[in-house]
Amino acid sequence: MSEEEKQLVSQADFEAHKKETHKQLVQSAMLTFTAFLAIAAVCIAWFINNTAVSGGGVQVQTEGSRFVLASTGDKGRFDTAPRFIEGAKKQ
């Protein structure tokens, strides 16, 4: 085989390989797009699923504390150490 014939054969092989690669790329893109659509459809269906939610009710009640935390002074925060008033137990 002459050098020119080898070059023509390799050019033909290159074109065939290029077409095959393009075909595989298009197929992969189509599969990826289809998978994306399927995942998007499932997510949308999950969010708009119309299931009824009901509750029996909850009742919360708070009780007053025995202690009130206060500080003395008029300069602002941390004037004096906090002290307990109204029912505090002395140690």
pLDDT digits (tens, 9 = 90+) for 33-73: 999 999 999 999 888 886 766 777 778 777 777 776 666 66
Distance CA(52)–CA(76), nearest Å, equals 52
- Given this model, what pLDDT does residue 84 score? 52
Closest CA to 81 of 71, 73, 68, 69: 71
pLDDT value at residue 35: 97
Q: 87, 45, 41: which is closest to 66 by C-alpha?
A: 87
Read off the pLDDT of each residue in 14-42 and give the average, rounded to a whole number.
Answer: 94
**What pLDDT band is residue 74 in, cutting at 50, 70 and 90?**
low
| pLDDT > 80? residue 21 | yes
Structure tokens at 57: 């009710």
The C-alpha angle with vertex 26 and arms to 24 and 32, in degrees rounded to 5, equals: 100
